[in-house]
Amino acid sequence: MHLIARRSLAHTVGAYVALTKPRIIELLLVTTLPTMVVAEQGLPSLGLMVATLVGGTLAAGGANAINMYVDRDIDALMERTRNRPLVTGDVTPTAALTFAIALEVVAFVELWLLVNLLSAVLAVSACLFYVFIYTL
């Protein structure tokens, strides 16, 4: 029974991670550090780099999860996306949306407190753009 519980927990965690589309986040973050170096005209502090990457990861993950929430009906029809967590039922729509909004809130607060307010506002703006312009 212990093995089943662990496998179930691992499967659930994997489903939530999949909601964030980690491969897309990688592509976004690969441009973040070079941009920070150019803006700083040198290497920013390690703390600032980590805070920016963590906040960016959370914000992008939240936006991606909202995208999956909105597109769940379309995802069920396409070969490439029919195994996504909302289509398979591994995550309920309500749980996915709650998770996505929580990621966005945590990202905003983390960026505001550890980076700056502008970064937090830009992260939320990017999420809104992605959801309302790209997704819808």
Q: What is the pLDDT along the chain (136 residues), one digit of tens a residue?
A: 455 556 688 899 999 999 999 999 998 889 999 999 999 999 999 999 999 999 999 999 999 999 999 999 998 898 998 999 999 999 999 999 999 999 999 999 999 999 999 999 999 999 999 999 887 7
| Residues constituting the chain | 136
For the chain, helix, strand, coil in percent to 5 are: 80, 0, 20
What pLDDT score does 21 carry?
A: 94
The fourth-level CATH superfamily of domain 2-135 is UbiA prenyltransferase (1.10.357.140)
**Residue 32 buriedness (CB in 10 A; 0-12 / 13-18 / 19+):** middle
Contacts of 17 (CB under 8 A, 6+ apart): none
Q: What is the pTM of this model?
A: 0.89
Rounded-to-10 torsion of CA 100, 49, 123, 121: 130
Domain ranges of the chain: 2-135
Distance, CA of 122 to CA of 39 (rounded, Å): 16
CA dist 45 to 25, 42, 48, 72, Å?
Answer: 22, 10, 5, 40
